[in-house]
Amino acid sequence: MNRLRRWHTDGLLCIGDAAHAMSPLGGVGINLAIQDAVAAATLLAEPLRRHRVTGRDLAAVRRRRAVATVLTQAGQRVLQAALVRAVFRGADPSPPRWVLGVVRRLPWLSVVPAYFVGVGIRPEHAPGFAARRPPGAAP
């Protein structure tokens, strides 16, 4: 897994796999790509309306998404090391018994991985201008 140091140049912004390759483990690549797109829409809508998108505007998207990208890729590397390598060695890829014991004693911990896979480290929300409105409602 790799990522670009710079996600933009004049007239171009890379997001999703174009900016940061993801492992298929966990299926989070599409989530990150959508969150990148939402962040781009949020940060670039006004500069686009003014027809004045600067390099600084484009760089803001990478700055906003960088921590989520780095942490997600780090998590995928850990999963890959633990699961994939175990499978290739013919070993049991199950979590260690002590991990299972902790999760049994603290069942709420099982929600944490599901949250990070489903919601992400830095969830993005659609900007107000993208909200659905009832038919006939004023924008």
| Greater model confidence, 11 or 39 | 39
The answer to whether 68 and 32 are in contact (CB under 8 A) is: yes
Residues 89-103, mean pLDDT to the nearest whole number: 85
Q: Residue 118 and residue 52: Cα distance in Å, rounded? A: 35
Q: How high is the pLDDT of residue 48? A: 96
Residue 1 has pLDDT above 70, yes or no: no
What percentage of the chain carries pLDDT values higher than 70?
A: 99
Residue 138's pLDDT is 72
The SS3 call for residue 70 is helix
For residue 79, name the pLDDT band (cuts at 50, 70, 90): confident
Per-residue model confidence (pLDDT) at position 61? 98
What is the per-residue pLDDT across 42-59, written as a single tens digit (0 to 9) for each? 999 999 999 999 999 999
pLDDT single digits (tens) 3-30: 899 999 988 999 999 999 888 887 889 9
- Spatial contact of 64 and 40, defined as CB atoms under 8 Å apart: no
The H helix count followed by the E strand count for the chain is 5, 2
Alpha-carbon 122 to chain mean position:
7
Domain definitions of the chain by residue range: 8-124
